[in-house]
Amino acid sequence: MNVVRHVLGRVGFYVVSSLFAAIFALPLLWLVVAPFSTKANLSVSLPEQWSLSNFARVFANSFAVRALFQNSVIQAVGTMVLVTLLATLAAYALSRAPIRGRDTISYGLVLFSSIVTGTAAMVPIFLLIFRMGLIDTHLGVILVFTGGLLPAAVFIMRDFVDSIPRSYEESALVSGASHWGMFRDIALPIVRPGMMVVGVWTFVNVWGGFLVPFILLRSPGKMPASVAIYSFYTEGGTPIITLTTAYALLYTLPVLALYLFVNWKYGFRFFGGIKS
Amino acid sequence: MHKRRTILPLRTGLIFLAPASLFIAAFILLPFFWIAGVSFTNRSLTGVTAANPEFVGLKNYLKLFDLSSFLQPGQFGSSLVITGQFVFWSAIVGQAVLGLILAWFFYRRTGWVKESVQTLAIIAWIIPDVVVAFAWSAFLDYDGGTLNWLIGLFGGEKVDWLLGLPLLSIIIFNAWRGAAFSMLLFSSAFGSIPPSYLETADVVGAGAWQRLKDIILPLIRTHIVTDLILITLWTFNTFSPFLLTGGGPAFKTEVVSVLTYRVAFKYFDFGAGSAIGMVMMIINLAFALVYLSLLRRQEGTR
């Protein structure tokens, strides 16, 4: 009797699991198959002949290549460097310096950034960048993303710095290191895993970001991949599916690679805390 | 106990804090006050009122809340109703319940099946918005879409998802997209429950549903509140329905974020766009305050 129940339980587990797997996989199936078919349409059908020619055509399109391998990279890496650097400095100060009301500051920042979101504040953000003369520049996009992502980045980073024992830094100071030297030689190496996580989180957010570049950029030569992907259209105005899906797949790969990397190195839970 | 040595003196700390503070002041605090100012003007993107906007008082707000057209398609009230339905069904019901079911189903299990299903959910959550939107517009396509093909397989009638049931389409889309966050949050909440609590329940002979309802859910109350507020805020502010439907057909999926974009950047009416943005921020603020007060009450009861 117990054996039957056990077997039924196992079968039920696999059936329900497959159902969940299907729910999440089916909408993406087309994206994995269509890029490899020369006659792709909107339906999922295994190509008669698997082919890489769609990718070859994407790589032959200099506008598409530039958007993906230059513009998206500049904007995502630029923001990543800026956010990681500033968040580390700020989080370190909030954790180690006797700043009054530092808990209120950390929570207040996150609270404020969840109120002034990119969608609610799109008009003043546009006007601000316009006033600064940075419309249609990579720098404008980088600055806006940096401002928007910093509060959460400081919060994640402070959590990380707080969890590190202070003894190394204390002994460095006792042995006569300067504050800056202690920060550079002792503290920075210890908090590096936290910086990695914040950096990856920032990169993924900017890489996938659509609204900010969509509003702030004008010339096709500066569009990141998230906006450029909407340009593979025939003269009749219908999207060229073979190219779009191949491009979408290329554009998604760095995100998947980073996820696998973070998951392997630190476990995803840590990374999964906040996503704006 | 000896006094803890200060690792960073106050002055150095403030220097470390300065660059980040500058950015946050410029790109979060300043826009907050700026938007309030612009919302009282007739500022536009081009033309005379772009350079010399005039003060128009509450006109933009009065237009938003003009009761004669408030609930007509494409107007602010109608957009708020759509947003409310979108947030309730896709975030609170869709994401939170799906995430809870996933977390509960795989609770106290290990192995490749759990890993694979959770990884698929996480992939749906982390890949870029535009890619997900492309995949879903194909998935929901009337003629070739995978969903209608599946429905046909089970003998059902084809459904014109994006034109016939557009609001339902973006609701399902967003629930699917964001379920992973709730799943991860609830999984880690379940992980923090001492196993002895459940062993007691086993001894008493409580069923699975009773165990969830009477033991688990009360224990993770704080996590539930956090989850609901965060996904509500994110869903309320998301722009991604625009990528799937563009707000149409006939404004039926025009959530407030998409309305803001249309008014400000398609009609170039920055004053009215700012007024909508201002109301959005006030709603965000209300959510945030409710969250804080709930958390405080939780801490008080401990």
Three-state secondary structure call for residue A188: helix
Q: Give the closest of B7, B30, B135 to A28, CB-based.
A: B135
Please judge whether A26 and B150 are an interchain contact, meaning their C-beta atoms are less than 8 angstroms apart: yes
Q: Which of B5, B9, B280 sits opposite A170 (nearest CB)?
A: B5
Average pLDDT over residues B1-27: 81
Q: Looking at the complex, does the CB of residue A196 fall below 8 Å from at least one CB of chain B?
A: no
Q: Would you tell me how many other CB atoms lie within 10 Å of the CB of residue A1?
A: 5
Distance between CA A52 and CA A57 in Å, rounded?
Answer: 9
Q: Please indicate whether residue B277 or residue A43 has the higher confidence score (pLDDT).
A: B277
Look-up of token digits 């603020």? B285
Condensed to tens digits (0 to 9), the pLDDT of residues A80-116 reads 999 999 999 999 999 888 888 888 888 888 888 888 8
Give B270's pLDDT tier (boundaries 50, 70, 90): confident
- Is B136–A27 a contact, with Cβ atoms under 8 angstroms apart? yes
Q: Are B124 and B260 in contact (CB under 8 A)?
A: no
Please tell me the predicted confidence (pLDDT) of residue A272: 40
**Smallest CA–CA separation between A64 and chain B, in Å?**
15
Q: Are A198 and A153 in contact (CB under 8 A)?
A: yes
Q: Does the distance separating the beta carbons of B237 and A117 come in below 8 Å?
A: yes
CB atoms within 10 A of CB B174: 26
Share the mean pLDDT of chain B.
86
Task: Map tokens 């300043």 to a residue.
Answer: B30
Q: Which two tokens stand for residue B48?
A: 């005379």
**CB nearest to A147's CB, from B28, B35, B278:** B28
Q: Which residue has the higher pLDDT, A238 or A180?
A: A180
Q: Does A170 touch chain B (CB under 8 A)?
A: yes
> How near does any CA of chain B get to the CA of A9, in Å?
12
What are B81-108's pLDDT values in tens digits? 999 999 999 999 999 999 999 998 888 7
Is omega for the bond preceding B249 within 30 degrees of 0, making it cis? yes
pLDDT of residue A273 exceeding 50: no
Whole-structure pTM value: 0.89
Shortest Cα distance from A83 to chain B (angstroms)?
8
Q: How many CB pairs under 8 A join A and B?
A: 277
The answer to whether the Cβ–Cβ distance between B265 and A111 falls below 8 Å is no
The average pLDDT across B253-280 equals 89
Chain A residue whose CA is closest to B20: A86
pLDDT of residue B96: 94
Chain B residues with CB under 8 Å of A94 CB are 13, 17
Distance CA B152, CA B137 (A): 18
Which residues on chain A are in Cβ contact (under 8 Å) with B254?
none
Q: In this predicted structure, what is the pLDDT of residue A171?
A: 84
| pLDDT tier, B172 (very low <50, low <70, confident <90, very high otherwise) | very high
Q: How far apart are CA B154 and CA B280, in angstroms?
A: 43
How do the domains of chain B map onto residue ranges?
68-301
Work out the mean pLDDT of chain A and round it to a whole number. 85
| Contacts with B, A 74-113, CB within 8 Å | 86-87, 89-90, 92-94, 96-99, 109, 111-113
- CB A30 to CB B139 under 8 A? yes
Interface test with B, best of A42, A44, A123, A175 (most B CBs within 10 A): A123
- The residue among A4 and B205 whose pLDDT is bigger is A4
As a three-state string, the secondary structure of B280-302 is HHHHHHHHHHHHHHHHHHHHHHC
B265-281 average pLDDT score: 88
Cβ within 8 Å, pair B27-A146: yes
Question: Which residue of chain A is at minimal alpha-carbon distance from B239?
Answer: A119
Q: Tokens 């009054």 map to which residue?
A: A100
Query: Which residues in chain A are contacts of B20 at CB distance < 8 A?
Result: 86-87, 89-90, 150, 154
**Higher pLDDT, residue A86 or B61:** A86
- The whole-number pLDDT of residue A276 equals 36
* Domain B68-301 falls under CATH 1.10.3720.10: yes
pLDDT band at B301 (very low <50, low <70, confident <90, very high): low
Higher pLDDT, B71 or A274: B71
For the ranges A83-87, A190-194, B251-255, B296-300, the lowest mean pLDDT is seen at: B296-300
**A18 φ, ψ to 5°?**
-65, -35
Q: How many CB atoms lie within 10 A of CB B217?
A: 15
